[in-house]
Amino acid sequence: MIRLAAVGDLHAGTDSRGALAAAFSHVAAEADVLLLAGDLTRVGTPAEAAVLGDELRSVPIPKLAVLGNHDHHGDEVAAVVATLAAGGITVLEGTGVRLEIGGLTLGVAGAKGFGGGFAPSAVSAFGERELKRFVEHTCTTAARLRNALGELTGCDRRVALLHYAPVRDTVQGEPPEIHAFLGSQLLAEAVDAAGADLVLHGHAHHGAERGSTPGGIPVRNVAMPLIGCAYRVFALGAAVPAGAPGARA
């Protein structure tokens, strides 16, 4: 059994010191790995990243993260990533990590993702250069996610970690006018193409917790303002062999 603790949108600021650590003090007893689904910081400064690293420093399980839009706001991404790494938090962007847990191999592939919306209202790469760049960024991050998942061959379980939502299901509750800025169906297409057992994301604070990709892969929105607590825990058992009762088609 692999146990994942996951949360997004912690939004640590320099005024968050002392506000987060207590909520994570028992996470190691409940989970084997802590996944952070972006928006780790308030405005994307190394100082804020240092606060988060310090707050989670005593959490003795692997800590994997993707960045969110807030973490990009300060245009100091490299410094933020380095500061988080110094605090024991590994940031994934088009990359994956393998972890040996209880005799099983967990693969986690991460990418920030981006917007563009969901069918039938998805944005197309047509017209102004700025709009084409917007969609191209989504295409790029979706391709990175697909590649990262594809490289995690041989894992017993694979998880896709995003900040932006891959499906409309988990942004329901947000104003429809902003759905295109909350995620993109291209991310779900990437996950369905490469395969995964679970997709985790944040960003949609007023969305819904549960959904699934068109291919049937469970999607969970773990934005902290939505889940109302420090993290959710998910348990992944050993994969059911193909062809056996209960196996994914």
Partner 1 sequence: MSVTPIEHVLVHVTDALATDPRVAELGLAAHLADEDAPPPRTTVVVVEGNVSTPERKANVVTVAAEVLEDAGWHAVVQDRTLLTSPVPPVDGAEDL
Which residues are at the interface with partner 1 (CB under 8 A)?
3, 7, 10-11, 13, 15-16, 19-20, 22-26, 30-31, 42-43, 70, 197-198, 205-206, 218, 220, 224-225, 227-237
In the complex with partner 1, which residue's Cβ is closer, 125 or 238?
238
Nearest to 163 by CA among 73, 79, 223: 223
Cβ 16 to partner 1, closest distance in Å?
6
Cβ 56 to partner 1, closest distance in Å?
11
In the complex with partner 1, which residue's Cβ is closer, 186 or 198?
198
In the complex with partner 1, which residue's Cβ is closer, 146 or 232?
232
Provide the CB-side half-sphere exposure for 15 (13 A, CA).
2
Cβ 217 to partner 1, closest distance in Å?
10
Which residue has tokens 């059911």?
240
Cβ 214 to partner 1, closest distance in Å?
18
In the complex with partner 1, which residue's Cβ is closer, 3 or 201?
3
In the complex with partner 1, which residue's Cβ is closer, 37 or 144?
37
In the complex with partner 1, which residue's Cβ is closer, 3 or 144?
3
Q: What sign for the dihedral angle of Cα 76, 82, 84, 90? A: positive
Kindly state the tokens that stand for 72. Answer: 């990009």
Question: At 100, is the secondary structure helix, strand, or coil?
Answer: strand
Determine which helix (DSSP H) or strand (DSSP E) holds 226, and give its type and residue range.
helix 224-227
In the complex with partner 1, which residue's Cβ is closer, 144 or 179?
179
- Contact indicator for 158, 149 with CB cutoff of 8 Å: yes
Cβ 247 to partner 1, closest distance in Å?
14
Kindly state the tokens that stand for 213. Answer: 């990709």
- Contact indicator for 186, 160 with CB cutoff of 8 Å: no
Cβ 157 to partner 1, closest distance in Å?
9
Distance CA 149, CA 129 (A): 30
Q: Checking phi first, is residue 194 left (phi over 0); if not, alpha (psi -120 to 50) or beta?
A: alpha
Report the DSSP beta bridge partners of residue 222. Answer: none
Cβ 20 to partner 1, closest distance in Å?
6
